[in-house]
Structure 1
């Protein structure tokens, strides 16, 4: 059945056509996002939801989204999506961070010019028939110091444009390396205070997080250079708007230009109606080119995920390109099977999960593979868990996850080994992918095996001795259970031995009891795997 996507905000016809051309059933209802009750009523019918900013994806909406796999936001900000609730639900949240970078950066530069030369006030005065040439004394940008808070994608473009205007640029960004700063031609400062005391203009280009919220607080605003001008085209909530208004009134801050506000739509705000404050209604991405770009980009990303498993620009899961998905698909499947095996075998609380990647697999997207392993382990506790929600569930339970990768060290071109640690024991399993693309279990508890993975399996442990194969075959055969594949392994002659059987259907409980009653087995464990 073809995936179904709901578009609940305004998207271009070209974006709608992308879904159709890819064979995805699309329902275009551009005003539905404004009606949360109606959206909650129908969301359960869709695999994907494409939105802009009008649709609010709340926990209530997500609770009704029984088959939803992906939410695509045409734009950068996803404040209108409850990402934690989406992650717990196993829904990928994507945005389009590159489609409106130029547009937003240009708007920041435009606002900087506007506040430097008081263009809006001068325009309004002139339209009113006044000729107040001496009332609007501006300042040049050339030679001034621009402080850029956040030198990522958009901030980096602003830095480039500012250098073209012959401004001196200082950047504060904990993730900006010195080499990158040198390439950009900007001065990297190690602390925010240094930027605040030096900048003639300050522009913000960071997301709204717990770390950046109120980054220009009352205390930090007081540290700024007298006569500073502040521009915010990033997110509302980064600046204490009341404190800024007070400093504008006192004359410490010479001007401000804001495109975003702590509460939107902003019908009232401390910055409104103050002299030399330029305000626009969140127009950072509002150009024809940007709106088209982000719409097309989100349609492509959602289609690639729903059809090929590619994860691009996701905010709650490691990204994986379509090419990676094709190569890694069997390894992701193996990771899930290894986790699922060990999860079904472990009854006590898990303290840690250690994952070893050896050989060719060690160069792949390990973050995505980790998600596969953890999802497999968590399935026993929560059958609805997936690669998105599993890390959240593990974190909530206080499980520590560690990863090791190493060069080829064994007989296989590559393999994955998973070990879980509990208060009582450690338990491990390893697997690989053969040239036929099928996952195999190759080691359990340090004992080498070669087992194909089936939907229904039976795992037994025993002391190595004659009669085990006969007992298993006879008991299962007499009870109508057909064996598709039979794998044995032992540590040493007479030592611990294991058997892993791939059977055509689940072994009934009475048959398991008969095997246990023979007294030949230390453990008899039925296993189930999601095998396509």
Structure 2
């Protein structure tokens, strides 16, 4: 084990009394009271940034929620600071890199509200089934409308779950206990864990929607999940079906959901989250909240006494003092690179193809100078975080060097690390990282290579194509025939949807590759239903067109690009 990164000079010797913790935001008093026996806890809600900067030097610990910005300047001023704790899931308001460089542990509570969110989902399920909201309102108005409020039983009904993460799995187990049949769609779920929970995995939304009586979504809100269900999807459902959302506003297209309720395409909805909170008067969200077929609650998914108390005790380190600061500074650019490579892999090779991530075997190969690094735990953790960030309830924020191996096992991932001092024959870099996956499902190999120049990370190879691009922001990756006019056609298609192009690069076939599609690519295109001949029936040279774009890229944009002549496949990636 490497020495701790917390240096003695950070804490002057001879400091009397208990370690001091500053809490500049309102958190559960019951949770804080449990710290009192071992710590001196100062609750000072409403502390301004300047006041925090002036006070932090006296404290060993800092507990924040989402309002306080823990900047590098504040961390530097905290000469005694050992731990910054986020009473909640995200750590976006904390400069984690600056904390790590100074040997300060950052922890959060990614699992604090899992039970609360799952229970609220089940509460809405039962409320929509038995018309609880309408019954409560009419009864309080002095009415007795039993005949108008006949509900349905949930036992022996089918629950569909989109996203079988921690919350989704908890909901599944609860509903199995209610006697429901549970089916789920999640290309990243572990088939073994699903089977153990009596959950049947189906391949796609098209398979799921027509068979469910209730539908609940538990996914992060990404470009790929924004407006995941629109008019066409609601039309495929049973007229007696009811939908639930305790995850993210915007996963259902709210206008489409409102129309589905008005037109009778579905029977009802239970909604805890909206695109705008609180909904603006007259907005679609407000109309949904007031709709007679909707049971609506004001984002109460995590609003339980227990969830609030659990959040006060962050237990998962986002950084961990098992690596020296100078080691971390050397590895930091490669941590960023490998996390981006993992996210690129999942979104380009898995999510876009509707496949399963679980069960895959990866090789993470360190080449050149990087091969001499012995403590590669941050690099391993970065890969796991990148692979699962777009599919986990916490967005990968709960992955760290302590639990990365456990999370990989939970997801059914096998990752082997290899060191070689030789770099690529085609390009020479001081250090090169190669991510290789043997896709046993399709008997093919998928490769992503990358390198670091200064503080900027680059992808140098994607599959069979030699590339050079920075994996940042929203990317569109088009597999196409390399022919005149292709760039202009793509630009026109994007312009029609108001999408601006930040950068564009064309990746050509790696030297020695055959122009014709290999078996794996043919299978990919066939699965997506997009395999087509080159213009005039002739074989064409293939290329990848990689576009960095600004704007919301929805399903309509991707579908327009997929149907363009000479386009074989399109992937939407957010990094």
Q: TM-score, normalised by structure 1?
A: 0.54
* 1:165 paired to 2:165: no
Query: Aligned-pair distance for 1:117?
Result: 0.8
Quick one: structure 1 residues 111 and 187, their matched pair in 2 at CA, closer, same or farther if it must change by over 3 Å? same
Cα pair distance change 1:135/1:266, threshold 3 Å:
same
* Residues 124-273 of structure 1: pairs in structure 2 closer than 5 A: 124-268=137-281, 269-273=286-290
Name which of 10, 14, 25 aligns with 1:9: 25
Could you tell me how far apart the structure 2 residues matched to 1:261 and 1:337 are?
41
* Structure 1 unmatched runs, 5+: 33-37, 302-311, 343-350, 372-387, 389-402, 407-415, 429-532
- 1:290 aligns with 307
Deviation per CA, 1:193-250: give whole Å up to 9, x if none.
Answer: 2222221111112222343333224443344333321111112232222221111111
Partner of 2:119: 106
C-alpha displacement at 1:182, in angstroms? Answer: 0.9
Q: CA deviation at 1:252?
A: 0.9
**Which structure has the larger Rg?**
1
- Structure 1's 423 and 235: CA in aligned 2 closer, same or farther, altered over 3 A? same
Deviations 1:57-84 (A, max 9, x none): 4xxx7476453787644334x4xx646x
Once the two structures are superposed, the pairs formed by residues 489-508 of structure 1 within 5 Å of their partners are none
- Note closer, same or farther for the CA distance 1:10–1:157 as it changes in structure 2 (3 Å cut): same
Is 2:297 aligned against 1:280?
A: yes
SS in 1 for 2:146: coil
Q: 1:196 to 1:30 in 2, by over 3 A?
A: farther
Task: Give per-residue Cα distances to partners, 1:311-360, cap 9 Å, x unaligned.
Answer: x253xx6xx5xxxx5xxx3x6568448769x9xxxxxxxx987644799x
Matches within 5 A, 1:289-328: 289-295=306-312, 297-298=313-314, 301=315, 312=316, 314=318
Measured in 2, the distance between the counterparts of 1:107 and 1:370 equals 33
Report if aligned partners of 2:185, 2:201 keep a CA contact under 8 Å in 1.
Answer: yes
Distance of 2:382 and 2:290 partners within structure 1: 54
The 1:293/1:369 distance shift into structure 2, 3 A limit, reads: closer
Is 1:28 matched up with 2:38? no
Aligned 8 A contact 2:99 2:106 in 1: no
Q: Is the 8 A contact 2:194 2:200 kept in 1?
A: yes
Give TM-score scaled by structure 2 length. 0.50
Specify whether residues 13 and 353 from structure 1 end up closer, same or farther in structure 2 by C-alpha distance, changes over 3 A only: farther
- The higher-RCO structure (CA 8 Å, 6+ apart) is 2
How many pairs align? 339
CA displacement at 1:162 relative to structure 2: 0.9
Q: Give the Cα separation in 2 of the matches to 1:255 and 1:98.
A: 30
The structural deviation recorded for 1:133 is 1.1
- Residue number in structure 2 paired with 1:478: none
CA contact (8 A) 2:72 2:99 kept: no
RMSD: 4.1
The residue that corresponds to 1:42 in the other structure is 52
In structure 1, distance between residues paired with 2:421 and 2:55: 37
**Contact 1:118 1:136 survives alignment (8 Å):** yes
